[in-house]
A and B are shown apart, each in its own frame.
Chain A
Amino acid sequence: MKSGSRLEKLLNQGEFVVSGEIGPPKHANGEIIREHARKLKDYVDAANLTDNQTAIVRMSSIASAVHVMAEGLEPIVQMTVRDRNRIGIQSDLLGAYSLGVRNVLCLSGDHQSFGNHPTSKNVHDIDSIQLVKALKDMRDEKKFICGEEIKENEPRFFIGAVANPFGDPFEYRVLRLEKKINAGADFIQTQCIFDMERFEKWMEMVRERGLHKRAKIIAGLMPLKSHKAARYMQKYVSGMIVPDEIIERIEKADDPKAEGVELCVEQIKHLQKIEGVAGVHIMAVNWEEIIPTIVEKAGLYPRPKVL
């Protein structure tokens, strides 16, 4: 056992895990996070706390994780390399571990030009793969990035990274995943899947290189609320592929939200059959409350216990 997190234990047990995602608020009251955590805790095994997603200032992912833990839900703290240098990142990791955080997801972070402070300076002292390696070195080599020894109480995280099967160059995406796994990633969350065909092709390449045996691949999903949201992602969100059929299906439905749930449930059932997919990560952006319905309809409730 590397970290002893619930997520790690369940994955090692061979369970098909389910994680959710909570977007921290743009204010200083944690009650909304706690409310989401209370609603989600019996339906997901862990939940991501996003780190100033789309570069919009929000409550910190680590502080949000503390609220989530207080409600009995296990957090996956997202950490981007956009806003902190290696000093700030390592310091925050020590702090997060001391507060009980055991899962960290390493990301580059959306460029600040998308957010509410487009004139800010970005940091990018290290990149996401170097962050994965830093977490691994802290845990397994007991060393800081500079090489200095961590004499006691090293942070022992379950290390997550992201992969985007829908970004380009497509052929290189699997090799870069391999780089992340070589750097020390224990689990991988993918970008939201709408183009199942491309995802399957990607998984085939993942299996060819045996990567699904070296890290747990968790498939990302986003339930759609409306065809407009889907169309927006198709047109304006870089690194996402949303096929027209999906948008049309939601558009034609009498109850688009119900159709969005139905689609997500179908996707989960399909993903369960793909060799090497170890679970699903449901990103219900501004729609966290729908996750229990989806989990139940997909037959994934109740959630398994740690043995």
Chain B
Amino acid sequence: MIVAQGKPIAEVAKMIEDANKILVVGCGGCVTVCLAGGEKEVGVLASALRMLRKKEDKPLETVEVTLSRQCDPEYMDQLEKYVADDIDCIVSMACGVGVQFVAERFDKWVVPALDTKFAGGALEHGVWGERCGLCGECVLHKTGGICPIIRCSKSILNGPCGGSQDGKCEINPDVDCAWQLIYDRMKSLGKLDKLLEIEPVKDWSKSRDGGPRKVVREDVMIK
């Protein structure tokens, strides 16, 4: 999933300081799962913003709604009835994708309430870790299911570098060395010989370096 984290409330308050009435939009997808932008977080953010503004003697009116997803035009339709003329600003609590879908659809000032962090998963309750670099061409079959693109601090394809010690990365003792993990895994699978092959330079044009990407599936398109 896309893992996101709420921006500091003061930061969001600053973004909407000129608004009298805002629409706070949650998302029922990834950010609900990672406890950053679901229905509950919408309620918390809206009331915190109202309280802050009350203290400043500049009351704020809020409308709250949480869509199943913000990354799909189908659900955007459902948002339409909430986007009234008197809404000065829409606060999206989705990832960066949702914020943009809202902004593309409505002629309103749209601001993000979250920082979109990475593609990852839950490691334990309250802890999420990055797992995918979204490079556009998966290499996990070569590395025992551990991604060197995003889990190695230097994205080394023929690792590990000289900074790997005691299983940890040189940048921080809390960070596992991806290549130690890859080595251990390949060893336990009896596939160490695969690591002796030199992995050639990567085609980054399939990643963001090729410009904004699009997936077109004609087989499922409705003509």
Interface status of A167 (Cβ within 8 A of chain B)? yes
A239 touches B162 (CB 8 A): yes
Interface status of A3 (Cβ within 8 A of chain B)? no
Residues of B close to A182: CB separation below 8 A: 196, 198
Given A126-B201, A145-B201, A191-B162, CB of A238 within 8 Å of CB of B157:
no
Interface status of A175 (Cβ within 8 A of chain B)? yes
Interface status of A12 (Cβ within 8 A of chain B)? no
B159 touches A238 (CB 8 A): no
**Cβ-defined partner of A162 (8 Å) among B156, B162, B172, B180:** B162
Interface status of A128 (Cβ within 8 A of chain B)? yes
Q: Please choose the segment from B57-65, B68-76, B163-171 that sits at the chain A interface, where 4 or more of its residues have CB less than 8 A away.
A: B163-171
Q: How many residues of B contact A (CB 8 A)?
A: 33
B163 touches A122 (CB 8 A): no
User: Which residue of chain A has the shortest Cβ distance to B160 in the bound complex?
Assistant: A167
Per-position binary interface string of chain B over residues 165-199, scored 1 when its CB falls under 8 Å from any chain A CB and 0 otherwise: 11111111000010010011000000010011011
B183 shortest CB reach to chain A, Å: 5
Residues of A close to B155: CB separation below 8 A: 124, 127
Interface status of A113 (Cβ within 8 A of chain B)? yes
B170 touches A110 (CB 8 A): yes
A129 CA to B200 CA, complexed, in Å: 9
Residues of A close to B160: CB separation below 8 A: 167-169, 172, 176
A168 CA to B172 CA, complexed, in Å: 15
Q: Which A124-154 residues sit within 8 Å CB-CB of chain B?
A: 124-130, 133-134, 145
A82 touches B163 (CB 8 A): no
B208 shortest CB reach to chain A, Å: 12
**Cβ-defined partner of B166 (8 Å) among A127, A133, A168:** A168
Given A110-B170, A130-B200, CB of A167 within 8 Å of CB of B165:
yes
A69 shortest CB reach to chain B, Å: 28
Interface status of A267 (Cβ within 8 A of chain B)? no
Given A130-B158, A167-B162, A238-B168, CB of A111 within 8 Å of CB of B195:
no
Residues of B close to A114: CB separation below 8 A: 170-171
User: Which residue of chain B has the shortest Cβ distance to A127 in the bound complex?
Assistant: B156
**Cβ-defined partner of A169 (8 Å) among B154, B156, B170, B180:** B180
B158 touches A168 (CB 8 A): no
Size category of the binding interface on chain A:
35 or more
Residues of B close to A172: CB separation below 8 A: 160, 183, 195
A164 touches B162 (CB 8 A): yes
A108 touches B198 (CB 8 A): no
Per-position binary interface string of chain A over residues 156-172, scored 1 when its CB falls under 8 Å from any chain B CB and 0 otherwise: 00000011101111001
B196 touches A86 (CB 8 A): no
Residues of A close to B97: CB separation below 8 A: none
Per-position binary interface string of chain A over residues 234-259, scored 1 when its CB falls under 8 Å from any chain B CB and 0 otherwise: 00001110000000000000000000
Given A86-B201, A164-B162, CB of A127 within 8 Å of CB of B170:
no
Interface status of B116 (Cβ within 8 A of chain A)? no
User: Which residue of chain B has the shortest Cβ distance to A191 in the bound complex?
Assistant: B162
B164 touches A239 (CB 8 A): yes
A110 CA to B162 CA, complexed, in Å: 9
Given A162-B162, A179-B198, A238-B170, CB of A130 within 8 Å of CB of B183:
no
Interface status of A178 (Cβ within 8 A of chain B)? yes
Given A86-B201, A183-B198, CB of A127 within 8 Å of CB of B154:
yes
Interface status of B161 (Cβ within 8 A of chain A)? yes
A238 CA to B154 CA, complexed, in Å: 15
Given A111-B163, A167-B162, CB of A124 within 8 Å of CB of B196:
no
Given A110-B170, A111-B171, CB of A127 within 8 Å of CB of B162:
no
A117 shortest CB reach to chain B, Å: 14
Per-position binary interface string of chain A over residues 90-102, scored 1 when its CB falls under 8 Å from any chain B CB and 0 otherwise: 0000000000000
Residues of A close to B169: CB separation below 8 A: 238
A113 CA to B183 CA, complexed, in Å: 25
**Cβ-defined partner of B177 (8 Å) among A130, A168, A179:** A168
Interface status of B82 (Cβ within 8 A of chain A)? no
B196 touches A127 (CB 8 A): no
Q: Which A54-110 residues sit within 8 Å CB-CB of chain B?
A: 81-82, 86, 108-110
Given A110-B163, A239-B163, A239-B164, CB of A130 within 8 Å of CB of B157:
yes
5 contacts between A and B (CB under 8 A): A125-B201, A130-B199, A168-B160, A238-B168, A239-B170
Q: Report the 8 A-B pairs with minimum CB-CB distance, sorted nearest first.
A: A164-B162, A238-B170, A129-B158, A108-B161, A127-B156, A124-B155, A238-B163, A239-B162
Residues of A whose CB lies within 8 Å of any CB of B are 81-82, 86, 108-111, 113-114, 122, 124-130, 133-134, 145, 162-164, 166-169, 172, 175-176, 178-179, 182-183, 191, 238-240
Other than the given A124-B156, A125-B202, 9 more pairs (CB < 8 A) read A86-B201, A108-B156, A111-B170, A113-B172, A127-B154, A127-B157, A175-B196, A239-B163, A240-B165
Residues of B whose CB lies within 8 Å of any CB of A are 153-172, 177, 180, 183-184, 192, 195-196, 198-202, 204
